[in-house]
Amino acid sequence: MHQDKKRVVVGLSGGVDSSVAAYLLKEKGYEVIGLFMKNWHDESVTISNECPWVEDSTDAMLVAQNLGIPFQAIDLSEEYRIRIVDYMFSEYKAGRTPNPDILCNREIKFDIFLKAAMKLKADFVATGHYCQKDQVESDGKITYRLLAGADANKDQSYFLCQLNQEQLAKALFPIGHLQKSEVREIARRLDLITADKKDSQGLCFIGKVRLPEFLQQQLQPIKGKIVAVPASSPIYINKGIPAGISPEDFDQEVLREICLPATYKENDGEIVGTHNGAHYFTIGQRKGLNVGGTGKPLFVIATDTRENIIYTGLGEEHPGLLRLGLFVKSEDIHWVRPDKALSIGETARYMARIRYRQPLSRATLIRKEEGLYVLFDKPQRGIAAGQFVAWYEGNEAIGSGTIS
């Protein structure tokens, strides 16, 4: 190993996970370089007196010193603004709910950052993600598998569900086999400054920013109506799965009825209040509606950013909150395992989730010309356009897609 040391560039974020990842790689005999990504420094947007990236950058540098590895910072803020921040604004403006963490991994860490690492003649890039990878060989061809982290409570495979084979080939996840407690223990033993640092909250690399405040930078408040739709509304009559037919035999009309979101009009319910902008809200949200006297809590069941109306339903079991299916357009389907891609007309059974740390649910995937229909065995709460659905076989992420 030592005569031909493999070079790894570690994304040192200034947190405990990437710190320990760098240490473990060094222990294994890799030549390790620490690289800090500066992804945001537009002070007008943070609306906070704290400057998280300066502190994080310093911590990352101190960790590199402690471990005796070279360290440099790289400014990716322009790419980050274009690929993540502008995208988020446009998605929220259109009434969708993007996942910046998944995008950050696909567009920044495993694309721009990966290319920067390759310029440093790296063989691999490594991150402090709680996930694992291995490989299978068939007919002399290697296929990489993206696996859940050993710590079920911290598994981050969902955030990496948009990675492709080329990206996985170059990726290392040194802490994926460990529990979070073990990672902290290693950091304490090494006396790393990040050992007891809290896990970062907030947007991927933007730091301590609350989303509504962040959105208000570009999306101006506009007063609009809050409409409460009764659970007995005729809109929900056909939303169930027909009895006695198996999902692969459903025609397109039935699939669309189950998997596409309901469309609402103002007269489908009664006006119960006002809001400051439909683009600030997402499906399943209950905070920030400020409508009193309803008994049960109100939940957002749909947003119409064109008409600036928020549709709500009363109580957690409201049929507008629960859906049995979702749809992914053809161009938005991504296979981590391209060898398992479904052809048009094929169906498969997988476990799926629509958000981080959500327990996996059994689902049938049906591939049609226009895209992929995902039918769950049990209704899912708060399916929102713009989010990602990821499907798994056991603990392996097989594919993912953007929900329409």
Position 3 scores a pLDDT of 52
Nearest to residue 125, comparing CAs of 11, 1, 6, 2?
11
Question: Torsion angle of alpha carbons 100, 104, 105, 110, nearest 10°?
Answer: 160
Q: What is the mean pLDDT of residues 223-251?
A: 87
Q: What is the mean pLDDT of residues 32-37?
A: 97
101 Cβ contact list (under 8 Å, min separation 6): 159, 204, 356
249 Cβ contact list (under 8 Å, min separation 6): none
Q: What is the mean pLDDT of residues 126-150?
A: 97
Position 21 scores a pLDDT of 98
Position 91 scores a pLDDT of 94
Position 33 scores a pLDDT of 98
Task: Give pLDDT tens digits for 259-284.
Answer: 999 999 999 999 999 999 999 999 99
Strands 333-335 and 31-38: unpaired
Distance CA 88, CA 205 (A): 14
At residue 53 the predicted structure's pLDDT band, cuts being 50, 70 and 90, is: confident
Position 202 scores a pLDDT of 52
Distance CA 197, CA 62 (A): 13
At residue 1 the predicted structure's pLDDT band, cuts being 50, 70 and 90, is: very low
Position 215 scores a pLDDT of 80
Q: Which of 14-28, 50-64, 355-369 has the lowest mean pLDDT?
A: 50-64
Catalytic residues: 104, 204
Residue 298 has pLDDT above 80, yes or no: yes
Q: What is the mean pLDDT of the chain?
A: 92
Task: Give pLDDT tens digits for 184-224.
Answer: 999 999 999 999 998 876 555 455 556 667 787 788 899 99
Instruction: Look at 24 and 38; give whichever has higher pLDDT.
Output: 24
Per-range mean pLDDT, top range of 75-89, 195-209, 363-377: 363-377
Q: Are 122 and 33 in contact (CB under 8 A)?
A: yes
Q: What is the mean pLDDT of residues 73-96?
A: 92
Classify residue 124 by its DSSP letter: E
Q: Which of 206-210, 247-251, 288-292, 341-345 has the lowest mean pLDDT?
A: 206-210
Position 49 scores a pLDDT of 52
For the chain, list the domains and their CATH numbers.
2-128+174-215 (3.40.50.620), 220-320 (2.30.30.280)
Q: Which of 40-44, 64-68, 76-80, 107-111 has the lowest mean pLDDT?
A: 40-44
Q: What is the mean pLDDT of residues 2-20?
A: 90
Q: Are 91 and 97 in contact (CB under 8 A)?
A: yes
Residue 45 has pLDDT above 70, yes or no: no
Q: Are 221 and 276 in contact (CB under 8 A)?
A: yes
54 Cβ contact list (under 8 Å, min separation 6): none
Please state the three-class secondary structure of 300-368 as a single string: EEEEECCCCEEEEEECCCCCCCEEEEEEEEHHHEEECCHHHCCCCCCEEEEEEECCCCCCCEEEEEEEE
Position 235 scores a pLDDT of 92
Distance CA 321, CA 86 (A): 28
Nearest to residue 11, comparing CAs of 83, 54, 58, 72?
72
Residue 42 has pLDDT above 90, yes or no: no
Rg (alpha carbons) of the chain, rounded to whole number: 23
At residue 54 the predicted structure's pLDDT band, cuts being 50, 70 and 90, is: confident
Instruction: Look at 173 and 89; give whichever has higher pLDDT.
Output: 173
Token pair, residue 310, equals: 């928020």
Return the percentage of the chain with pLDDT > 90, whole number.
80
CA distances to 89, 91, 218, 219 from 280, in Å: 10, 11, 11, 8
pTM of the model: 0.93
